Amino acid sequence: MKTFKEFWPFYLSEHSNLTNRRLHFVGTLLVHIIFISLLVTKQWAFAWALPIVGYGFAWVGHFIVERNRPATFKHPLWSLRGDFKMFYLMLMGKLWK
């Protein structure tokens, strides 16, 4: 895969289980909430929580629910971009199946 456009179908196939997608959604939503809280409170010492919360929910979805390996290990930046794309598509009601 040489482009994100080529990566996206693979990313979706690795997130075919609705429970996995929901776990990703919750994790990414919490990342947004924590990030906004950090901006408002300027308590940057708590920034460590961002990857733990985001990846925590996602990895439960992969290792326990979907029983596959997160794409983050081979394609970290595209995977992060895919997480946010999937989150916003789900937020708009376009990717709940």
List the chain domain ranges.
4-91
What is the reported pLDDT for 97?
Answer: 67
Q: What's residue 72's pLDDT?
A: 87
Closest CA to 86 of 2, 1, 13: 13
Q: Per-residue confidence at 25, pLDDT binned at 50, 70, 90?
A: very high
Q: What is the pLDDT of residues 35-90, one digit of tens each?
A: 999 999 999 999 999 999 999 999 999 999 999 988 888 999 999 999 999 999 99
Residue recorded with tokens 């930046």: 77
Q: How many CB atoms lie within 10 A of CB 30?
A: 16
- Tokens 């439960």: give the residue: 60
Sign of the CA dihedral running 94, 66, 48, 43: positive
> d(Cα 32, Cα 26) in Å, to the nearest integer?
10
How confident is the model at residue 1, as a pLDDT?
84
